[in-house]
Structure 1
Amino acid sequence: MTKRILFVCLGNICRSPAAEGVFRALCPEVACDSAGTASWHSGKPPYEPMQEAAHRRNVDLSALRARQFAASDFDDFDLIIAMDDSNLEDIDALRPKGHKTPVKLFTDYAPQSGMDHVPDPYYTRDFESCLDLIEEAAQGLKITL
C-alpha cells in the first residue's frame, strides 16, 4: 500500500500544497508532503489567495512551507504526483538510476474531468476550479490506494 505521497508543482505555493492539504484531510492515515520543481518560493507559505480558497473548503494550508523537489524524494516517497507534464519531466530528469518510484499526473486520477493537467491558478486566477479538480483527483487517488 502507498503510504507516502509527494505532490509536486512548479513553485509549491498553489497546486501542490492545496493537493497536500486536500489529500491529508481526505486520507489522514497517508503521509503527504509537497514540493516545487523550482526554488523561487522555498520557505514561504502557500499563496494567500490559494489559502483563502482552501480555507473556504475547511482545508488549512497555513502551516505548509514551500520547498524544492530533490532527487532524495525518490527514496522518501512511494508515489510522486505531478500537476502537469512539465513538472513530470522535471521530476523524471532528477530520477536516480535504478529508482522505480512511480511518478504520475494528478489528473490520471480524475479521467472523467477531461483535463490533462491541473491549471496553475497563480496565472489563471481561478482558485475554485483548481480546487474542484484537486478534490476530484484526490477522491480518485484515494480509491486506488
Structure 2
Amino acid sequence: MTRVCLVCMGNICRSPMAEVVLRRVLSDHGLAGQVVVDSAGTGGWHAGMPMDERALDTLSRHGYDGSLHRARQFDKGWFGDRELVLAMDRDNLRELRRLAPRGAEVRLFRSFDPAAPEGAEVPDPYYGGIDGFLDVLRMVEAAAEGLAEHLAARGGLPG
C-alpha cells in the first residue's frame, strides 16, 4: 500500500481539493486499493474546520464531494508512514523539506503534470475570487492524472 499526503498551508483549499480529486482519479485508474491519499496543512490554525466553502462549491459543481473533509496540521512523524509527500507550492515544499528525514520523497504536486512548467505551483486561491478555485481544480486534475499514470506504471509505488 502506497500512502500519499498532499500539503498546503491551512488544509482548507488546495490540498483538500487535490485529495478529493486524486482519490477519484486513482479509482478511475484502478489504483484505489493500492494508494491511500490524505492531506494536511503546514499550519494548524484551521485544524478541525471543514473545507473553504468556495473550494467545496467548486468541487461540488464538478461532481466531487469534499463534505467530509476536516483540516489538520501535518506532523513530521507522518514521514515514516507516507511514501510521497506533495506540496502545493514552494513555501510549503521548503517547510516540508525542513521537517523531512533523509530519504523522504517530498516534491511539488504539479511536478506530475507533464504540461506544467518545471517548478509550477498550485497558487493559493484563498484571498481571491471563485475563478481562482476553478483554476486550482483544473491544475489539480491535471497533476492527479499525471500522478495516477506515474503510480500505475510503477505498480502503485512512487519513484
Name the SS for the 1:131 alignment partner.
helix
Question: Aligned residue for 2:136?
Answer: 130
CA distance in 2: counterparts of 1:80 and 1:123, whole angstroms: 25
Name the SS for the 1:132 alignment partner.
helix
Aligned length: 142
Q: Deviations over 1:84-142 (max 9, x none)?
A: 0100111111123x4x2201101111141337100111123311111000000000111
Runs (4+) of structure 1 moved beyond 4 Å? none
Question: Aligned residue for 1:45?
Answer: 50
> Paired residue for 1:75, among 38, 55, 80?
80
Identity of aligned residues (%): 43
Q: Is 1:17 equivalent to 2:23 in the alignment?
A: no
Q: Is 1:119 equivalent to 2:123 in the alignment?
A: yes
Name the SS for the 1:41 alignment partner.
coil
CA distance in 2: counterparts of 1:82 and 1:128, whole angstroms: 19
CA distance in 2: counterparts of 1:123 and 1:81, whole angstroms: 22
Structure 1 gap segments, 5+ residues each: none
Question: Aligned residue for 2:100?
Answer: 95
Q: Deviations over 1:13-59 (max 9, x none)?
A: 00000000000111131210000000110000110010000011111
TM-score (norm 1): 0.93
Name the SS for the 2:44 alignment partner.
coil
CA distance in 2: counterparts of 1:84 and 1:50, whole angstroms: 17
